[in-house]
Structure formats: structure tokens, C-alpha cells
Amino acid sequence: MVEFDATILIQAINFLVLLAILNQIFFKPILRIQSERQEAVDGARKSAESRMQELKSMREGYHQKLDAARQEAFELVSSQVAAATQAREAELRNVNAEMEARMNEAKEELAGQEAGLRSSLEKEVNPLAELILAQLLGLSEPESKQEVSVG
């Protein structure tokens, strides 16, 4: 059987004293350093996460501003195109109206010239017709020929 004598008790006390000394000298500083490292890592992680969140919000803001600028540019270009189209259509209407007025003016001028030519031709045709009729009927007069040819 096992005997319990003072040696076991001394060894147990020796173990406990050595454990207390090792705990104070070795284990507590190591645990403290591990704890400090863990806190530093956690702080760095939280800082990185907050920076990532900040960057994400900045990126979203940038994209929103970019989208707004694109939309504004699109609207500006659209309005400029619409204004240019309206100006072009107005200019075309003005040009068409001017051309139509010129055409009407030219038609009126041609109609006036035509009427003048018709009246002058009628004035010349009537004496010629009378002369031809007189020559055909044998009533030819040499003096009337000269008058008609002069006119």
C-alpha cells in the first residue's frame, strides 16, 4: 500500500510554491502580453472595418454624385439638342416662307410679263391678220405693209 509520509507533503508544498513562482514570473506576463496583442489586433480590425465602412460610404457618395452628374449632363445635352432642333425647324420655316414669297413674286412677275406680251402680241397680230386678210382678198395696200412691218 501507499504510505503517506512527510515527503509527499513536502513535495506537494514544493510543487505549489514552484507553481506560484512560475505563475508570477512566467505565466502572468505571457498572458498579459497575449491579452495586449489581442486588444491591439481587435483595435486594428475595428479600425480597418470602420475605414472600410467609411470608404464604402464614400464610394456610394461618389457613385451617387457621378450618376447625378451623368443625369444632369444627359438632360443638358437633351435640352440643347431640343433647342437646336427647334431653332433649325424655325430657320427652315423662315427659309421656306421666304422661298414661297419669292416664288409667288416670280409667278406674279411672270404673269404680268405674260399679260404684257399677250397684249403687245395682240396689238401686232391684229394689223398682221388684217394685212394677211387684205392680201388674200386682193385688197393689198403697199402703205399698210410698211406700217405693219415697222410696228
What angle (nearest 5°) sits at the alpha carbon of residue 13, between those of residues 18 and 33?
25
pTM flag (> 0.85): no
Low-confidence ranges of the chain (pLDDT < 70): 1-4, 139-151
What angle (nearest 5°) sits at the alpha carbon of residue 143, between those of residues 140 and 145?
65
Domain boundaries, the chain: 9-150
pLDDT for the residue 4:
67
pLDDT for the residue 1:
59
pLDDT for the residue 141:
56
Maximum Cα–Cα distance across the chain = 188
pLDDT for the residue 79:
96
- Which of 91, 87, 151, 97 has the alpha carbon at shortest distance from 125? 151
Distance CA 50, CA 42 (A): 12
pLDDT for the residue 87:
95
